[in-house]
Amino acid sequence: MSETAAGISAPARSRLLTPFNLVSAVILIGGAVILAIRFTKGLAATTNLSHTNPWGLWIGFDVMSGVALAAGGFVTSAAVYLFGMKEYKPIVRPALLTGFLGYFLVVLGLLADLGRPWRLPYPFIRQAGPTSPLFEVALCVALYLTVLFIETTPAAFEWLGWKRWRKVVGSMTIGLTILGVILSTMHQSTLGAMYMVTPTKLHPLWYSAHIPVHFFVSAVAGGLAMVIVEGMVSHRAFHHQVQISSEQFESINFGLAKAASVTLAMYFAVKTVALALENEWHLLGSAWGLWYLLEIVGFVLLPCLLFAVGYRERRLTLVRVAAVITAVGIMLNRFNVTFIAFNWRIPAELRYAPSWMEIWVTVAFITFAVVTFRWVANRMPIMSELPDWKGAH
């Protein structure tokens, strides 16, 4: 049988059978199998969760960290369309696509952890519970995911040549951006507010009456860092599509570094003030205190200084290193709040550690996002706008 008769040519096969595609396929297939086991045999068959430790990696990473690191979408769109910082417009589309995929993974993570996907709309149509922080998070995430989807459609409409729909969505840009900022501010802070009801379970160094502020400010820093990281990867992977000069790209990164440095300084300040107001200084000398200092000094203060030095001395590598450290630090903070410093009084043998299946599924979710971003960016004008739409929203 000839290659043509077989339905796929040799060049097409060579493009499909790349190391990246093969590794991604293995990870995704493995993740699908584990999820099938989870939905047929329950959480006990695939996770180390228990009644003592009900939230683990799927909530700590896929939800808590995912929401924070996807904040770059509303930060960049607000900067461009609300505050008139047009020099950052080239990064809005990649940031919005990253944000949409990040929030989509949040929903997948929730489904994996909670099960019963057919009950996803229950909070809105059957038992709302509007006084619950969880209801506010569910409502805002659902609405913001919809907003992000609409904000990412212009690239698809340009690709498809649907000019009328492109104009319709373009006319909604300001309204969608304002709505996105409102919704993001609400649910980013409310994710922290959920832990205000756990003063006896969450370690005092992480528990605070100001934890909603901590979550919101750290999410802004994490979103800025992820925009830099995403730009670093995308600029190399899709360099043939990027239509801005290297000087403009570096200028954008230095601007983001300046904003990230200021935001991390604010985050460090509010954490320090909270520590002082709650008079928990004596806990810093304990083992938990050393772990807390590692998070605050190593993953907040250090990248703050690196961002500042990188911006001042125009050292792009330093900025990128700081961005990676910041992203890791945001994940560490969410892990600490969700399960590391949660139930801190229980014996070590009862403490939670994620199973290999939980880790595999999380890696599969990340792989799914990367593969989707790669597929979209290779086909649609994500890194740049089509000539006919230059200057449009």
* Tens of pLDDT, residues 256-308: 999 999 999 999 999 999 999 989 999 999 999 999 999 999 999 999 999 99
* Tens of pLDDT, residues 159-169: 898 889 999 99
Residue 152 near residue 97, CB atoms below 8 Å: yes
Please enumerate in sequence order all residues whose Cβ is within 8 A of that of 145, keeping only pairs 6 or more positions apart, or say none.
Answer: 100, 103, 104, 106, 107
* Tens of pLDDT, residues 314-371: 999 999 999 999 999 999 999 999 999 999 998 888 889 999 999 999 999 999 999 9
Answer whether residue 84 shows pLDDT above 50.
yes
Amino acid present at 343: N
pTM of the entire structure?
Answer: 0.89
- Tell me which residue has tokens 């992977």: 237
Answer whether residue 242 shows pLDDT above 90.
no
Tell me the three-class secondary structure of 253-290, residue by residue: HHHHHHHHHHHHHHHHHHHHHHHHHCCCHHHHHCHHHH
pLDDT band for position 234 (50/70/90)? confident
Residue 293's pLDDT is 96
- 3-state DSSP assignment of residue 131: coil
Cα–Cα distances in angstroms (integers) from residue 164 to residues 93, 146, 157, 170, 177, in the given order: 20, 20, 9, 10, 20
Cα–Cα distance measured from residue 248 to residue 257, given in angstroms and rounded to the nearest whole number = 14
Cα–Cα distances in angstroms (integers) from residue 327 to residues 259, 307, 323, in the given order: 15, 13, 6
* Tens of pLDDT, residues 190-227: 999 999 989 999 999 999 999 999 999 999 999 999 99
Residue 226 near residue 330, CB atoms below 8 Å: no
Mean pLDDT score of the chain: 88
- 3-state DSSP assignment of residue 54: coil
